[in-house]
Amino acid sequence: YHAKKKGNSYLFFNDTMNRQAVKRLQIENLMRFGLKEDHFEVYYQPKMNIRTGKLDGMEALVRFITPKKGIISPGVFIPIAEETGQIIEIGEVVLNKACRDVKNWIDKGLFNGRVAVNLSAKQFSLPDLTTRIDVILQKNELPSYFLELEITEGTVMDDPQEAIAIMRSLSARGIHLAMDDFGTGYSSLAYLKQFPLNTLKVDKAFIDDMQSERGRNMVDSIVTIAHNLDLHVVAEGVEQAEQITMLEQLNCQTVQGFYYSKPLSQPEFTEFLKTQQSNSAPSLIRKINA
């Protein structure tokens, strides 16, 4: 029986497919339950300004915390949620919690910048996207100025003309837009200049490659293109001090990565903001402004 089965690649392929289908179904069910039971939490990773050593903003990152299977990584459940459409509901939970937390930090005087929230392709193409965002902002009494949305090349290159229209309506509200994982997907330089973007996030893959001269030249070129288009640049996945030094030389002001901090839970990020504040001599800043 085993020999026969082993020799039959079709059967083996089928078995693997079945196992994958079962796993997907399990995660889909876990997500349905998790949405009901509030198992999706938002963590925050600081975006640091190299020059000042201070916080430029933060990125909201979803965490699926299940009682039975522990934390399930976004890399595992996001692709499945994209396929099932559950990403729409998950995305709303994330946006809502991110707005709530930022409102709280602003009210406490701990923060005065933008929170970046990842937007999936499914969410981006919802016909009532802007209304949904308006509702969440209003509910949390958060002005749109404090929100940034991160979208990927794949999301906008599907239908670039339509994407430009959607981005314009978001941008008109004062929401900032960032191109996430830049350089990894299918992107067109011809379109890059037409998209109403504020920020370009250089993917970790390019940052990892900076040990080589060609890798450094690549990042140099991306930063130059971004600046020539009046875009802010954020380097993703920065882990080493040498990378900070190189990025500073290349004129990249903002970095995000484990070097400064891993993504933090809401209470942890509150503590982080407090230590930031004690470092920045706020009394002096207030005196100058008064």
Least Å from the CB of residue 223 to ligand C2E? 18
Of 101, 158, 156, 166, nearest to 132 (Cα)? 166
Pick between residue 105 and residue 263 the one whose CB is nearest to ligand C2E.
Answer: 263
First to last CA, the chain: 84
Pick between residue 28 and residue 239 the one whose CB is nearest to Mg ion.
Answer: 239
Largest CA distance in the chain: 84
180 binds Mg ion (CB under 5 A): yes
Q: Which stretch binds Mg ion (CB under 5 A): 20-28, 48-56, 86-94, 200-208?
A: 200-208
54 is written with which tokens? Answer: 């201070």
70 binds ligand C2E (CB under 6 A): no
101 binds ligand C2E (CB under 6 A): no
**In this chain, which of 150, 166, 207, 235 binds Mg ion, going by CB under 5 A?**
150
258 binds ligand C2E (CB under 6 A): yes
Least Å from the CB of residue 256 to ligand C2E? 6
H helices of the chain, in order, are 2-7, 9-37, 74-84, 86-107, 121-124, 129-139, 153-157, 160-171, 189-192, 204-208, 213-228, 241-249, 266-279, 282-289
Least Å from the CB of residue 201 to Mg ion? 5
Pick between residue 53 and residue 282 the one whose CB is nearest to ligand C2E.
Answer: 53
Q: Is the dihedral of CA 53, 54, 60, 62 positive or negative?
A: positive
Binding to Mg ion (CB under 5 A) within 80-139 occurs at: 118
Pick between residue 17 and residue 135 the one whose CB is nearest to ligand C2E.
Answer: 135
270 is written with which tokens? Answer: 């509150």
How many residues bind ligand C2E, per CB under 6 A? Answer: 23
Q: Are 134 and 96 in contact (CB under 8 A)?
A: no
DSSP letters spanning 188-223? -HHHHTTS--SEEEEPHHHHHGGGSHHHHHHHHHHH
Pick between residue 50 and residue 87 the one whose CB is nearest to ligand C2E.
Answer: 87
74 binds ligand C2E (CB under 6 A): yes
56 binds Mg ion (CB under 5 A): no
How many C-beta atoms lie closer than 10 Å to residue 105's C-beta? 20
For residue 223, CA distances in Å to 50, 179, 192, 247, 248 come to: 15, 13, 13, 9, 11
Given the rule CB under 6 A, which residues bind ligand C2E? 45, 61-62, 73-75, 78, 87, 91, 94, 118, 120, 150, 180-181, 236-239, 256-258, 263
Given the rule CB under 5 A, which residues bind Mg ion? 118, 150, 180-181, 203, 236
